[in-house]
Structure 1
Amino acid sequence: MTKRTQIPFQLTALGAAVLAISGAVAQTETEEDTAAQAIYTPLLITGRYLDTRWQGDYTGGIQLGLGYTSDDNFMFGQYNGLYEEDIKIIGNLRWQDISPGDSYWRASVDDLGLDTRQGEIAWGKSDQLRLSFGFDSQIKAGNNTGATPFRGGDSPLRLPQDWVTGSTTGDFSQLQASLQQFDQELERDKLSAALAMRLSDAWHIDGNLSYEERQGTDSTAGAIYSDASTGDAALLPLPVDYRTTEFDAGVTYSGGKLNLEGRVNYSDFDNKDDILVWQNPYRSRSPESVGGLGLAPDNDQLQGRFTGQYLFSPKVRLQFDGSYAVSNQDQSYLDYSANPAAVVVEPLPRDSFDGEAQTGTLNGKLWLRPLRQMDVEVFYKARERDYDNPRDGYRYIRGDGSSQPDAALTVYNTSHHFLSQTTGLEGTYRLPMRSRLQFGYAFERVERENAAVEETEEDQFTLGYRIQPLDSFTARLELLYGNRSADTYNWDQRYYALLDVALINATPDNQRYINHPELSQYYMANREQEQGKLDLAWMPAENWNLNFNLLVRNDDYDKTYTGLRYAYWERYHLSASYSPGAKLSASLYGGYDRFESEQMGRSFRGGAEKNAFEIYPPLPQASDPDRDWRMDATDTSITLGANVMWQLSESIDLEADYSYVDTESDQAYRSYGAADVNPQDLPTVSTTLHHFRASGNWHMRKDLSLRLDYQYYRYQDDDWALQGVAADTIDKVLTFGARNPNEKIHYVGVSAIYRWN
């Protein structure tokens, strides 16, 4: 087979022409802009954090204490290290040399008693040199309520010696006695070093190096099968043992009107495990068999990036940004099957994939001020992904459940070249009453290879208006309309790109598809998009700040019959903050979010029933609209919260924060006439969270403080996928039998903070 010629990253003549006159830096803000930004400051950062004397002019400080978590959990402590009922050490350190002189050093350690500890030590000379070394440890706690009969924390996963097989999970008579809980926890440890140096007033260099290990146990699913109707599936513990090395170096030039930066980035990913092998718990396979899942392969990437900006005059500025990256993956192939009983007639076509992906980006903006009241930006964006991969046929063994298929069932790897180019114009015109009219237009063209749609084009229009009739009130309205149109939908393209010519020739024309011909993939389908945003900010008094934010968006896939037909969002957020003085600040916020979507599908079998083009009865299943089904999904969420910070006295400060989140997810189905197509609505999934946090500091002396922390965390979920589902509830899926989270956690921490000069 002829190898496709590599297409180097390049831009069209139009793109190059636009780039030559495009690119921008953000314009210098006027006093009017600054005032508007002050009003639009997000609620949660408007309150001034009261001075706890921890951040004063001290040489160092140390915080030591004990914290207690009341129960084991996996939601409250998912990322903060507080996932076990235990007493943990509270340990934080800050130490620095702040004496006069050119050189300095700083050291810090956080969360010394937790699995989320991190620290850094830095040395440098003011405005000349900075050298730092650091470490960062993180942990992710998963749902630890599940259990599995598989033994071994690594591949292969083994069943107990007294395991009793069966055709379904209900036949596993030793299942309950064999189940053992396992921890789904992922630990990450990272070491890093950084260097920054000023070579001259104009030239600077910097570099970063890091090495990360990620280890632990996650979860995955595997199945042994010969076709889609004969799967024997199981949830499996997944060992994780990753190594990642990253390096980047850059040089910066700042020369007044001209600013340039060049960077080189390199990353290397090494997975110590190539394959996950598990013993088959079912007896429906003969002889005794095992299954195998290939894991994430080793890979590396080298990227170069160049950015810059140039000030032609106070009225003309240019900015550009370009990058080019090459990713490689040449890990040795695994065997066609992990099952030693599988018969392999034809070997793999090559020893490794030896694939390469090249990705390039190019962005540019030109900012102009043709009139005193008007600003204009012309921009161009491009992104291209290209592949240099050998194309081969693979007679892979499906699901480790049979021998190698006939040559006619050979499948081929496929490259998916991608090129996106966007050109556009944005303008702002200043009007009386400190108001602005904003307008914009963008045109995007996307070209794809070996996809159902070769080209899509989208026009996007935006119109905005901002007014500040009073110093205390600002309103901003933004409207957006987008229209994406696609080429003719080639529903058979994936079929031809994936399968062997022998199978294609043996298949009737009206069955040469993988997705139904009327099914449109939403990211390539015709779509009309409408969006409106409204932001209001009002300061009725010097110490009050009120904000209201509204977002409504509708995506209408108006040419789609089967697939995603529409999606709708609406969001309402309201916040208020009150700060009568330096000793007290309070805030309240609330929000409502709603998402709706509609998706259409059709239920049909293969063979003669797969003919999707018949129009005269009796209709095959794939042609019969009575076999349609529709799913309407609705997700809603309500958020409420409050925060208070109070300097009770010169020596005591208090803070309290409460947040409430309530979500619901509904999926309703309907059918259109076929007696055997009668899907039922899925149960509503509800999630509720209450989280209260309070802390207080008592400054006993200038150099000594006592701190008390308290948290109450209440989380409830009733996901039907876990509700009442034991390990053997599903006949052909051996699950973990994990439970939904239902957590009620109290956390108390007591610590002392000592500072020294």
Structure 2
Amino acid sequence: MRIAKTSTPSACFSVTLLAWAISGVLSQAHAEGYEVQKANRNSIKTEAWSCKQCQPKTGHIGSVSATLAYNDGEDSRFGNMTGTDKDGLVGAVGADMQYKTPTGYQTQLVIDNLGYDASSAKLTTGRPGNYQINLAYRGLATYNYNQLKSPYVAEQDKMLLPDNWVSGSTTQTMPMLQSSLVNQDLSLQRDRFTLGGYYAGKMSSNSQYKASLSYQHEDRSGAKKTSANILTNSVMLAQSIDDSSDQVDASVYFSGMGWQAGINSQVNQYKNDHQALQWQSAYTPTFGAAYIGQNAVDPDNKAYRVAAEAAGGANGHNVLMHAGFSRMSQDETFIPATINGPSPVLPVDNLDGQVDILEMILKYSGRITQNFSVQASYNYQDRDNKTDKLDFPQVVTDSFHQGTAQNSLYDKQTNKFELKGKYRFTSSAYAEAGYIRDENDYTELDRQSVDEYGVFAKLSYRYSPTWSVWLKGEALERDGSEYDPVATTQSPSNPWLRKSYLADRKRQKVTLHTDYQSDIGLSLGASLHSVDDDYHHTSVGLTQVSYIGYDMSAQYALSNDLSLNAYLNQDWRDSDQAGSNRFSTPDWYSTSEEKSTLIGAGIVYQNLFDNHLDIGLDYSYSDGQSDTDVTYGITSPYGDYYARKHNVNAYAKYKFAQSMSLRVDWLFEKYQDANWQNQNTTWDTVPNVLSFGDMSHDYNAHYLGLTLSYQM
């Protein structure tokens, strides 16, 4: 986009000098005990301050573009980088256009890669700061697998086998399995549409208001991995996703000299086009005639939220208050408890579920002295599940009735306090310290209350205008009420087991960071971080986690046209766990060692060949791996579990004329991963599991795109 010149050096210097002089006068008045908002400004001729050469350009400006590319979409996962999983030629359009009038009216259209699954378009019109209307579209896509195979085909709410399918007692005895395999595509596409706007005005010379309203509709389509089983025989399925959500947001805010207050609200409704997931069993029934299974899917539901906020401050003291109420509800009709034989009678036709959430936030910040300031906050949240507690029949995998069980109502109440102070010793050194306490009360969990509390401190020092360093340490401890495993479930926990999110824990965390920024275009940054978690009262469960890592980055502008950048990040995470096969004290142990590495570098060179050519190149490498050993009499290591990726992103942009340019983009990705759980498996490796086989990725993929742009 062509950038209009804003001002000459002499004009900008004059405005800067005038602003500096006014600032000095106002600072002196405040020092003498006068508040700025009480000053008499009626006689000031502000029109003389305007920069005549700083007026925004009016009329039409902007650019349009068209892209034609070749995309290697053999493995759809590469589409997470390019924005499309289509194989072969693909096309997209883009634009960034703007129209302004001398009266301040402005219309802008921004389009990015429209034609790809990951794309966006937004049209905005109005007078910025007064009123504005916008219409937007955004496409989001996540690609997981497109090379998996299964004999199942989706048809509305059903997963069907071929008409000539011959069942077997195991996967190895299914004669039609190999010949019936078809590709399964596990991906998710989201299409989001938004219509909204705002209107702002003045109530008086010192107060104004702003009201906004927006509506958003989102459709989701695709498929996700799920599993289903009848007794001990199971299958992996590509469950179809076809749902939508509608959301309305509205708010009105009022503000004045040193204060702001308002109300905001939100209404959301979710609808699922699928009522249930039925699937044909590929196995010969163990007993009876259970040839079809049925799984529940996400039910329709809705939620609304309303909140009020107020903030104000004066003389270095500020207060923020927030209060909100949310309600989530679901009344979708239940599916039968089983479709194999007579279904037990359900206590009600639908759940009539309701969860209310009440929240409150109070924050204060203030400068006590010139060098000392404090901040304090209190967060309260109460989650109240008001759903009726009923006796529901328990049907095991659509096969046999096994009594009744009550639905659990999980409530939670949270009180979180934080207090911190900051003291500045000199203009280049300060210290910060604080105390945190997080209290949580639960119902129907193994612990009724869990509290976490601790302290932190930070010391920062700027050695010179170009170099600074800071060190931060934290010490947190978590404990709570007596551990009493829930006994209402049909699968009670080992009384020696401590779940990691509820267990007592001592945490120590240290971070050291430094950065350097010179006046010759060089900037450097580095940090070292360490975390140690000790679950000191756990016999069975996660007992210890240690984490250490570092990262470094550098940017260097050799000239106005040439710049370099590089970064390096590495992390190590080790964890220990104890388990029990005897429903008692530990009799087996495991250790996991995880390591991640991220390396990258890039170069940008502009205005080559008499300002006609810009080029850029970015490379990154990432490697994540995990090694796990289990000791149960003897030590047995797990297999491979890793993911490695090389990325290259190169471009060249050549300007034929002032208004036309051609850009070439080349993307390359080399990716490989492995998971010991399914590595080198096929569809019939496990006799009672009809799986997708080996779900690992191993590909080299390219994207080559040509983009022609025209500047208006």
Quick check: TM above 0.5?
Answer: yes
Equivalent position of 1:280 in the other structure: 281
Kept in 1: contact 2:129–2:200 (CA 8 A): yes
Map Cα deviations across residues 517-536 of structure 1 (whole Å, 9 max, x no partner).
Answer: 00011111111010000101
Question: Which of these residues, 682, 690, 698, is aligned with residue 734 of structure 1?
Answer: 690
Question: Which of these residues, 420, 424, 429, is aligned with residue 418 of structure 2?
Answer: 424
Equivalent position of 1:239 in the other structure: 240
Instruction: Trace 1:1-20 onto structure 2 (pairs within 5 A).
Output: none
Q: Is 1:478 aligned with 2:472?
A: yes
User: Which amino acid is 2:496 matched to?
Assistant: E
Bigger CA drift: 565-574 or 159-168? Answer: 159-168
Kept in 2: contact 1:421–1:446 (CA 8 A): yes
Change (3 A) 1:554 1:351: same
Aligned partners of 2:664 and 2:139: how far apart in 1? 25
Q: Is 1:206 aligned with 2:212?
A: yes
Kept in 2: contact 1:143–1:738 (CA 8 A): no
Kept in 2: contact 1:634–1:665 (CA 8 A): yes
Equivalent position of 2:226 in the other structure: 220
Q: Secondary structure at the match of 1:332?
A: coil
Instruction: Trace 1:64-79 onto structure 2 (pairs within 5 A).
Output: 64-78=66-80
Question: Which of these residues, 397, 400, 404, is aligned with residue 398 of structure 2?
Answer: 400
Equivalent position of 1:720 in the other structure: 676
Map Cα deviations across residues 47-89 of structure 1 (whole Å, 9 max, x no partner).
Answer: xxxxxxxx99962311113111134122221364332321111
User: Which amino acid is 2:110 matched to?
Assistant: S
Deviation of 1:260 after TM superposition, in Å, equals: 1.3
Kept in 2: contact 1:277–1:338 (CA 8 A): no
Deviation of 1:288 after TM superposition, in Å, equals: 4.2
Aligned partners of 1:740 and 1:651: how far apart in 2? 44
Equivalent position of 1:390 in the other structure: 388
Question: Which of these residues, 600, 603, 606, is aligned with residue 644 of structure 1?
Answer: 603
Aligned partners of 1:321 and 1:696: how far apart in 2? 50
Equivalent position of 2:176 in the other structure: 174
Equivalent position of 2:326 in the other structure: 325
Kept in 2: contact 1:186–1:217 (CA 8 A): yes
Deviation of 1:106 after TM superposition, in Å, equals: 1.5
Change (3 A) 1:539 1:755: closer
Deviation of 1:701 after TM superposition, in Å, equals: 1.1
Equivalent position of 1:338 in the other structure: 339
Q: Is 1:448 aligned with 2:446?
A: no
Change (3 A) 1:93 1:433: closer
Q: Secondary structure at the match of 1:465?
A: strand
Q: Is 1:309 aligned with 2:311?
A: yes
Map Cα deviations across residues 230-288 of structure 1 (whole Å, 9 max, x no partner).
Answer: x1100012011101000100001111111112100010000111210101111124324
Q: Secondary structure at the match of 2:114?
A: coil
Q: How much identity, in percent, do the aligned residues show?
A: 22
Deviation of 1:143 after TM superposition, in Å, equals: 0.8
Deviation of 1:193 after TM superposition, in Å, equals: 0.2
Kept in 2: contact 1:453–1:489 (CA 8 A): yes
Aligned partners of 2:635 and 2:393: how far apart in 1? 36
Aligned partners of 1:208 and 1:169: how far apart in 2? 53
User: Which amino acid is 2:282 matched to?
Assistant: P
Change (3 A) 1:80 1:206: farther
Aligned partners of 2:688 and 2:265: how far apart in 1? 50
Q: Is 1:631 aligned with 2:590?
A: yes
Kept in 1: contact 2:58–2:99 (CA 8 A): no
Change (3 A) 1:123 1:57: closer
Map Cα deviations across residues 168-223 of structure 1 (whole Å, 9 max, x no partner).
Answer: 11111110011111222322222210111013251110011011111122221111
Q: Is 1:436 aligned with 2:430?
A: yes
Equivalent position of 1:379 in the other structure: 377
User: Which amino acid is 1:631 matched to?
Assistant: S
Map Cα deviations across residues 477-527 of structure 1 (whole Å, 9 max, x no partner).
Answer: 000000111211012xx213x47xxxxxxxxxxxxx701000011111111
Change (3 A) 1:540 1:77: same
Kept in 2: contact 1:327–1:357 (CA 8 A): yes
Deviation of 1:549 after TM superposition, in Å, equals: 0.9
Deviation of 1:692 after TM superposition, in Å, equals: 0.7
Aligned partners of 2:465 and 2:454: how far apart in 1? 33
Deviation of 1:602 after TM superposition, in Å, equals: 0.5
Select the structure that is richer in strand: 2
Map Cα deviations across residues 442-487 of structure 1 (whole Å, 9 max, x no partner).
Answer: 1221111111111122221001100012111100100000011121
Aligned partners of 2:59 and 2:700: how far apart in 1? 40
Equivalent position of 1:669 in the other structure: 630
Aligned partners of 2:164 and 2:649: how far apart in 1? 50
Equivalent position of 1:577 in the other structure: 555
User: Which amino acid is 2:366 matched to?
Assistant: L
Instruction: Trace 1:20-419 onto structure 2 (pairs within 5 A).
Output: 59-78=61-80, 80-200=82-202, 202-225=208-231, 231-283=232-284, 284-311=286-313, 313-339=314-340, 341=341, 343-344=342-343, 346-402=344-400, 404-405=401-402, 409-419=403-413
Aligned partners of 1:457 and 1:57: how far apart in 2? 61
Map Cα deviations across residues 682-726 of structure 1 (whole Å, 9 max, x no partner).
Answer: 113122111011111111211111111111111111222332111
User: Which amino acid is 1:338 matched to?
Assistant: I
Aligned partners of 1:591 and 1:287: how far apart in 2? 57
Equivalent position of 2:452 in the other structure: 458
Map Cα deviations across residues 380-434 of structure 1 (whole Å, 9 max, x no partner).
Answer: 11121111111101112111122x23xxx31101111101101221000001361
Size of the aligned set, in residue pairs, is 650
Structure 2 stretches of 5 or more lacking a match? 1-26, 28-56
Aligned partners of 1:71 and 1:455: how far apart in 2? 51
Aligned Cα root-mean-square deviation (Å) = 1.9
Q: Secondary structure at the match of 1:84?
A: coil
Q: Is 1:495 aligned with 2:487?
A: yes
Aligned partners of 1:328 and 1:189: how far apart in 2? 25
Change (3 A) 1:195 1:732: same
Q: Secondary structure at the match of 1:173?
A: coil
Kept in 1: contact 2:59–2:99 (CA 8 A): no
Bigger CA drift: 545-554 or 133-142? Answer: 133-142
Deviation of 1:540 after TM superposition, in Å, equals: 5.5
Change (3 A) 1:433 1:209: closer
Deviation of 1:541 after TM superposition, in Å, equals: 5.7
Kept in 1: contact 2:259–2:311 (CA 8 A): yes
Aligned partners of 1:136 and 1:60: how far apart in 2? 21
Equivalent position of 2:705 in the other structure: 749
Kept in 2: contact 1:58–1:755 (CA 8 A): no
Aligned partners of 1:583 and 1:338: how far apart in 2? 70
Instruction: Trace 1:697-712 onto structure 2 (pairs within 5 A).
Output: 697-712=653-668
Aligned partners of 1:740 and 1:392: how far apart in 2? 43
Equivalent position of 1:25 in the other structure: none
Q: Secondary structure at the match of 1:75?
A: helix
Kept in 2: contact 1:358–1:387 (CA 8 A): yes
Equivalent position of 2:643 in the other structure: 687
Aligned partners of 2:693 and 2:379: how far apart in 1? 49
Kept in 1: contact 2:496–2:585 (CA 8 A): no
Change (3 A) 1:679 1:282: farther
User: Which amino acid is 2:597 matched to?
Assistant: I
Aligned partners of 2:317 and 2:427: how far apart in 1? 27
Change (3 A) 1:545 1:306: same
Aligned partners of 1:84 and 1:126: how far apart in 2? 39
Structure 1 stretches of 5 or more lacking a match? 1-29, 31-54, 226-230, 500-512, 605-621
